[in-house]
Amino acid sequence: MNKISWIKIIAISGMLCVALGAFAAHGLEQSLSAKALSTMRTAVLYQFLHTLLLLGIVALPDKLLNQKLQNRAAQLLLAGIVLFSGSLYLLVFTGFSALGMITPIGGLALIAGWLLLFSAAKRPQ
């Protein structure tokens, strides 16, 4: 995927972080249990942090990272955001607890993305 496409995806993810975080803080605070609100905050936090990481990866000069591994790391991080945070959002909004089984898969994708980013780093020449 090219950098313009990544920036658009990152912008949408960042916008969703702000919108969902504000909705949780101001629109759902009275209607959610403390546990559900905590789950929502966790989902927003992880999405926000990994969205910033994606922005950093895309903004790095090409000479610092192996491009193939950089792209794979970004793909894993995006999948991790969708699976981890997305499953938590769905859990909060639907109450369907079976969705909680998807969350660890998203966490593993996030971890794998970080490891692949480590592997993508090039040695100075």
Burial class (CB in 10 A: 0-12, 13-18, 19+), 57: buried
Give 28's contacts (C-beta < 8 A, 6+ positions apart). 37, 40
Banded pLDDT at 124 (limits 50, 70, 90): low
Interval 23-82: pLDDT, tens = 988 887 778 888 999 999 999 999 999 999 999 999 998 889 999 999 999 999 999 999
pLDDT on residue 51: 98
- The full set of domain ranges for the chain reads 3-120
Task: Tell me the three state secondary structure of residue 121.
Answer: strand
Task: Tell me the three state secondary structure of residue 65.
Answer: strand
pTM summary value? 0.91
Nearest to 1 by CA among 74, 109, 60: 74
